[in-house]
A and B are shown apart, each in its own frame.
Chain A
């Protein structure tokens, strides 16, 4: 909300300067968004009288002026403006002044032999407009030597504050003034408008069909008005806060909206059909044209004001074009109503109509103000437009807003941590308009003023249905007892400013902190580190992407499609972070970086339940390994991705020997170059592989591209137990190599597993170190070579024993895989 300081001072008697006002506004919760202070930049510029204007002796286009700036000595000023003439009054800047429109700082100069001790300024030079045809020409009676900004009324800074949703009362200049006064910045001027004499019966009356939606409405006509432009002072005030002056009758309603936070509506009596304005729910099929030109089809959930024929306005939100005041209006009917904030908020949202009235009604307006506001508005209309007033008509009754709230003084320190005394607290509340109902040493009970709908408002709870009934009831009772107190405490604290609360470092439950991450959370951090340590760049990408790309990577259920995506390419919750990484890799490749290694640990979304949202560590590698003299570059392949996935699993404590790889990876992988890593027959821990050529083509991944996913939630929780005693035999291990000829389709893993199981007491490791497929082998066969590590425990192995183990290995491998030892 915006207001000029001069407007504020209509309600606040204060000596405080701008800085102090701004600081206080910030401290008490009326955050300053900006200040427009044209006067500050113009402070050095004064009104001056041009006494002489002669042709410059050495320049055709310049004039040498003698200027009186009220200092007593005539100043010599060289001026190039065509309109400079003796006798005129203008605006003078002296040396040292910064000229806001041209960005220079004036200094004493000499222009072609004539001294210049200042500058006569144009509007543009002062930053006041585009006019640069000549210097500012002031009226005859402009006082010489006086600050130009002050004389022109430009030294009236405009303050813009942001008002939080709870403070409907602060959406008014008076409300702001009241807060500032309460914070010690001056005195709130009284507001008690004189009643305006009623000289005729009202031509319209109210009928309210929905008293919940509109508990109270007042109205009054003024006849014989002559509408026209508002007086300059009113236009200036409205312009200052960014409103366009329309005509006096409309401007009056805008004035009260901002001055008192009291939206009013003025109907043109002549355009209202019948003698009754009815406040009721909208009916199917009804519509009206709002003041903003938009046609609004009202619903039975909306509150409307209708005459005998049609809907005239959406109550509390926006009036209609049809019955608005225009220049030919001669009789008006002023509406001052109280509306249900919830209904206004929902209606406004339903029709996407924003207005000054709505923002005040949905926050709640002063429940007792309508009579006084109506008197003030009537008086102002008669003052500006003439005419005479009718009697006041009303329907409904003043809402039951009177209530009390209690504050235990102990809470000021006990919850607020503040040293504010009981007396200070009570005085502050009184300045805010709370009156004391009762006070003792322990606390105070206050009456809540009619404009503070946010204090002790007691809206309904929204308790979890899962709570046991007694627990819920006890908590609700506790809330009812403490909430109004919190409201008051907030008032007490903010008036002094929260900077006044002494900070206290938190007492810690244990001098040495306990781990802040659970075992599962630690694994996530570790997985990220493992991947980065393998040369991958950790990424963070949006959880949503375009549904077509998403569909390439898995299920894209409609339940996970955004109803209101911000762009069509961000409409589907992703099935896997790998999808985001594939897009990112393509972007990097297009930028000239074909060899990337990207990883992300983030959400994969399967359904809307918390359990359906998985944490996945994914990665993608594209292109080739670095060129180096020691080793030729090669394309990244599925084994790189498998290595990444296994590295994560190993770091996370998964027993590696028990893992199996099957070839049923998802369809976005190359079916022959991808795998699924499982623990046991069912638990899928990871997938890896080359991306499918068809997918690569669709995503603009021209070169080699491999990826993996590790499903972090699937990894069993690490068991917290001590490690077993290490196996440290006294005898040297020995290694033996075995080369097998086997069908190419047999997974190498099967040979390794068979060999490992051949003699568990002796065999501690089996590593596959060679794979050969070529012309020298029979068609469809490969040669796989294993290195087996034997660990003797009781005594060194004899040749015969080694031979026997060898035979067992060959037999076991043959049995499991059909492989035969190569001769």
Chain B
């Protein structure tokens, strides 16, 4: 590098180091790269060099230009960081002070999400039938989500599940985001001796996203293991629940034979409604609302329960679905968008939690 270029670099770097605020930095920038800046002048002067020298000189000047631009930018970042640091230090407050005695707004402005509300209602109704609430993790082992539930690796039902996976853990198996709440059946049967009577409301995930499917949604699972429990009890339990939840004493309920790997016999359950108006309980149309069945002997055996001694039923339904039906909510997607207008419209008051005494 020729001396004049080296000198310019040294001088500029010194000026940058001395520049302690954005204004000073800008002055350095203008003095170097501005219209009448030192480096700009060198560029302009290139024309005066003989052609054979010009090429080499031009490259050197441009290299210097890039170097200086980078140095200026680096200093700008430093200064910005320092300014932010100073601001943050200046803004420091004593966070040990007691907060104000009242929040900025009161209960009349707050609301409970419809999904949480429905879960409270489910809990109240099934609670009256002797069910308690069980929970399990969202990120679940393959065995809990599938194999233990009689869904082996090759089972066609696995394809219906559109499973999300996370990278394999130390055991070489890929954990899944649970595709249903059913793995909590397994966790419950492994952690307690029968009789079992639980419901499992919770988040579930499937790789599906359109107007009627969300990649995350909620299910509630039911599991009852006892002696002498029959399909008749399953039907009674579901009819009692559906009529209480929708508050329609004579809600028509239809049961159709079906198949799930983890129950046998299995059945799907429809309720009566009017397809055109959406009104429940009347109209002669049927709407599928949940799946259920008697717990499969394999599922019991996988959890160490002898199906000769114990039997029972399980069911599962979509929480969003029954919430939409109950309240006439037309669209699924806003449930997860946290739009304050929607939340205020469909949310319920925190001061009236679900209670059978007050009516769900």
Contacts and interface: CB of A to CB of B under 8 A. Distances in A.
Q: Is the interface of B mostly helix, strand, loop or mixed?
A: mixed
A642 B103 CA distance: 10
B63 to A, nearest CB: 33
Interface in B105-128: 105-113, 115-116, 120, 123-124, 126-128
A639 interface: yes
Contact of A537 (B104, B208, B258, B343): B343
Q: Is the interface of A mostly helix, strand, loop or mixed?
A: mixed
Interface in A449-465: 459-464
B297 A486 contact: yes
B104 A626 contact: yes
B107 A476 contact: no
A543 B177 contact: yes
A417 interface: yes
A384 B129 CA distance: 64
A535 interface: yes
Contacts of B255: 498-499, 501
Contacts of A481: 307-308
Interface in A329-347: 341-342, 345-346
Interface in A605-662: 605, 608-610, 613, 621, 625-626, 636, 638-640, 642-644, 646-647, 661
Q: Which of B89, B104, B152, B236 has the most CB of A within 10 A?
A: B104
Interface residues of B, number: 129
Interface string B147-177: 1101011111101100011110100001101
Contacts of A514: 130, 132
A500 B301 CA distance: 29
A796 to B, nearest CB: 30
Given A532-B112, A538-B113, A543-B203, A605 B138 contact: yes
B234 to A, nearest CB: 8
B84 A694 contact: yes
Interface string B333-354: 0011111110110010111010
Interface in A124-139: none
Given A490-B266, A536-B110, A461 B338 contact: no
B267 A498 contact: yes
B228 interface: yes
Contacts of A515: 127, 132
Interface string B291-308: 000101110111111111
Contacts of B337: 584, 587
B92 interface: yes
A683 interface: no
A510 interface: yes
Contact of A640 (B100, B138, B153, B232): B100
Interface string B239-263: 1100000000000001111110100
Interface string A559-572: 11111111100100
B304 A463 contact: yes
A346 B344 CA distance: 48
Contacts of A639: 97, 99-100
Contacts of B165: 562-564
Contacts of A107: none
Contact of A566 (B98, B209, B234, B261): B209
Contact of A29 (B100, B136, B195, B258): B258
Given A543-B203, A587-B338, A516 B301 contact: no
A477 B306 CA distance: 8
A471 B303 CA distance: 9
B141 to A, nearest CB: 9
B231 interface: yes
B98 A768 contact: yes
A603 B164 CA distance: 17
A735 B179 CA distance: 60
Interface string A539-578: 1111110000000000000111111111100100100000
B340 A596 contact: yes
A442 interface: no
Contacts of A613: 137-139
Interface string A474-486: 1111110111001
Contacts of B44: none
A468 B197 CA distance: 23
B235 A497 contact: no
Interface residues of A, number: 150
Given A508-B129, A768-B98, A771-B97, A535 B105 contact: yes
B215 A483 contact: no
Contacts of A499: 254-255
B327 interface: no
Nearest to B92: A672
Interface stretch (A38-46, A159-167, A185-193, A252-260): A159-167
Interface stretch (A234-242, A275-283, A743-751, A800-808): A743-751
Contacts of B266: 490
B264 interface: yes
B104 A535 contact: yes
A795 interface: no
A317 B266 CA distance: 29
Contact of B233 (A341, A474, A504, A538): A504
A56 to B, nearest CB: 41
Contact of A498 (B94, B205, B231, B309): B231
A476 B298 CA distance: 8
Nearest to B146: A462
Nearest to B189: A464
A199 interface: no
11 contacts: A417-B233, A515-B127, A535-B108, A536-B110, A538-B343, A544-B215, A593-B340, A597-B105, A613-B139, A638-B95, A771-B97
Going nearest first, the 5 A-B pairs with the smallest beta carbon separation are: A417-B232, A535-B105, A672-B92, A417-B230, A516-B127
Interface of B: 84, 87-89, 91-100, 103-113, 115-116, 120, 123-124, 126-133, 135-139, 143, 147-148, 150, 152-157, 159-160, 164-167, 169, 174-175, 177, 186, 190, 195, 197, 199, 203, 205, 207-209, 215-216, 218, 224, 228, 230-237, 239-240, 254-259, 261, 264-268, 294, 296-298, 300-309, 311, 335-341, 343-344, 347, 349-351, 353
Given A416-B230, A505-B237, A609-B137, 14 more contacts: A29-B258, A481-B308, A486-B264, A486-B265, A493-B257, A503-B236, A506-B130, A516-B132, A521-B135, A533-B351, A535-B104, A625-B105, A643-B103, A750-B96
